[in-house]
Structure 1
Amino acid sequence: MFLMLIIMMMITLMIIIIMLMIVTLMMNDDDYYLYDDYYDDSLKLGPKEPEKTGAERAWGRKSRQPPISAKSWTTPEELYSGADDHLILRWNLVNNETASLVKLPDDVFPTDMHWFPKAATGGGKKTGSDLFSLTSTDGKFHIIGKTGRVEKSVEAHKGAVLSGRWSYDGSALLTAGEDGQVKIWSRSGMLRSTLTQNSTAVYGVAWGPDSDQVLFTNGRQLVIKSLQANAKPTMWKAHEGVILQVDWNPVNSLILSGAEDCRYKVWDTYSRLMYSSSAHDYPITSVAWTPDGELFAIGSFNTLRLCDKAGPNTGSVFKLSWSSDGTQVAGACGNGQVLIGHILERYILNQSTSDATVTESKKIVVRNVLNDSYDKLDFRDRVIKASLAFGHLVVATSSQCYIYR
């Protein structure tokens, strides 16, 4: 009987302890929470981090971050960004520090940001600009100074303003909206003209190299429109899906487009296709040329790809003709040049101990596979054919035939 009493008392004590622990956890529920890491599908229990500002949590990959929808460089060492948490952040790439520039109103969600073009000074140097345009989902664009002061807010479109770009001379601002309109504004925010009224949203716009033409999207089509009155626009079907982003390089005058068909393409100003990528796994959501036009980058889901503008600067190659010996090809080019190509790096494989490669039009390099030694063979004339078999190398040039053991 006494033993049963002791057991009951112990059970009662354990119940009281468990209840106290539950009450303690409920009173301190801010200290622990269950969170889902974006980069790990497993659920974890851990100490809850204190609330951080946008500047404190900007560096590095963190879960539950607001999407960053706008960004723009001022110098190669300074970048500004805007996100759905209404913060405009300044990123210093020299010391890896981030600071909050301004907190936007709660109803302002950024969609695009573009700094005013740099002004040229003596000696050819350029100074940083002091203001930028910020487009938002409330149908407005905002002119904001480098200190964070909002200089002006302008009602621009019905629905979200999806893109805003300054002209290269800084005299005009180009905007595109969810309402299908493309508009040009003065630097002070006065409406100059409405270029078009589409039936679908315009997701991307770009200025032409001389700021006298405008490129914009229209569903699956690309449109180039001159600012001259009564000028007929150039329009063509560019993708099989809605075009999401465009860029027009002022140096090479080539147009870059990315779309929901998961492809990116390069065009000239006459709507001729220069390059079309293979289909990616996800839509191409962003494209951008480097300022010199030598490289471009494309962005997709979990993807950033760097591409070069391969090939010579010849324009369209209209005619091709091979030489009689099949070692050279000539092309008639749209920019007035004649392109001449030589077949090089022809690999000649021997299954036993050696291989050979035609490295130049008059040179062959032979490699001994066993000891990795090399022999270089120079010829007076172009190498037309070569064969390596049965322990012999046979080389035919335009005037002679050589046999090596």
Structure 2
Amino acid sequence: MDWSPRQRGKQGSKSVQTCDNFILGATDGRFYLLTRNGKADKGVEAHQGAVLAVRWNQDGTSFATAWAPDGQLFAVGSFNMMRLCDRHGWSYAVVKTQTGSLLNMRWSADGTQIAAAGGNGEIIVGQVTDRWIEWNGFEAAVVDERTVEVQNIRNGATEHLEFRDRVTKASLAYNQLIVVTSSQCYVYRYFVLVDGMNIYVYSYDGRLVCSPKQPNLRTDLVHATGFALSNDTIAVKNGMDEKTIYLFETASGKPIGDGKPIVHSNDVVQIGLDQCGPPLHQRLVILDRNKDLYLMSVRVFGTNRKSTKLTTMASSFIWSQTSNILAAVVNDNISVWYYPNIAFVDSDLLALTTHEHDTQEEFGKQPELLSFYRDRITIRRINGSVSSLTVSPYPDKLHQLIATNKWNEALSLCRNVKDKMLWACLAGFATCAKDLDMAEIAFAEIEEVDKVEYIRYIKGLPKKEMQTAEMLMLSGEYQDAEGVLLQAGLYFRAIMLHLNSYNWNRAIELATKHKLALDIVLSMRQAYLQQANRTETLERYLSQPRQNLLSTNALKERIEKEYEREQAHKEAGNTKPTSPQNRSRPTVVT
């Protein structure tokens, strides 16, 4: 319930009386206008569900509302007043006018000017100023329509940049200031301009790099949350079909891979690309309408696109500018993934490399992530105030050491910090880089005994191809592991790879193609069905005869003999034969 703030009579006179009306919210989804005596003057259908809170506008009735083209601002017109608000609802500024009631409002196409028509016939035009951006000790503010003021926080130096035309956009990041006016772009790697008709990628020296083209892509519907850029990749959400994301190469503007877009299961709200590392390991983050946060690979070579769900109930996210660390607002708290790629390498370690900061008391509900630089996240509260959150600086340093191939320094950092989270990150890096020694040390520090034993088994394998394939299996890259084994002529190990990962169709396909170990494949499939108390449903297995099935002991002996035969065959084919060694081999447990 809330009383109307409207007054009758002239301000300051004794005849001023408050209005006797009040508004009341009800559980049936309606709100009612009532007099002091309790008489209901009118009921309005508000929404589905109970109306929990109602408030009068202290400045009187709003007659017009207009959203900026990019959806970040909206303006509200009332009697002799215009209010500029953020998309979350808090107010930037209030301007008093002498136009009477503002009945209609329109934004310019670039979102920097707004025109409004008053009830007395006057038309007013306003310019959005005092737009402020910050990066790594520098601040830039658009103080008026043609001036940008840049200040160095460290030494207090200030510079005023005057432009001939009206400033429409400004951005400050990566040691570069970019100012876009109505006719020119001033650049004080790559940046992107979207003019409503095309997408242009420029280098920082002003050279046009590319202009990606896609017939099904509406560039006039492209906004910041549906666009992502890195040194290697451009990702654009299709405004006509919000489940579709197109990927382009930054250097050429050509579609990546076969040109097919990513089609998500739900409408996409926000996308983002990591900014560091090689193109092959680049990752794309998708936030969909269900508030689910997904991480997926960008470049795919003959395999299905890797994708995993990081969390649910996320409202926004941001990548670090200096390393591939991801931060997101999850249930109004800040969650940080210090090595999100570990979800593909070893999903068991994802929780160890994730830290949730309980920030509801400090930042309130629905905080907005503005920037993430090194160990500092800049956050805007729901009331518009800006604050910062400091996270651990060591993961960012670890990322930079690994990127420059300084593994010994990275190991020393982990030993000095003595943090399990940092050791888990190092284990993921080492597994991805196929560094057995470093991976063994890191897994031992986080007490992953099974993985330490498996790495020791891998180190004991006689062939480099076997070690590479097993490390690929450890990091979840089964198709790449199969390719390594097949190229090395280790067909039986390739079959066993799929049997041990329950990829039954591919296992019998390889056995039939190479005419090898078909009885082992059928016997392991039958043992699996018996243990699971299931019947056969796969057509490839239904068409095979059942008379050659092996018992459990015979199956183990047959697998051992096949390993020995394959190893002897490979050693006989080498130019410099090596003496046979008694190595442990993976066996089937039934």
Structure-2-length-normalised TM-score:
0.33
The structure with more strand, counted as a fraction of residues: 1
The structure with more helix, counted as a fraction of residues: 2
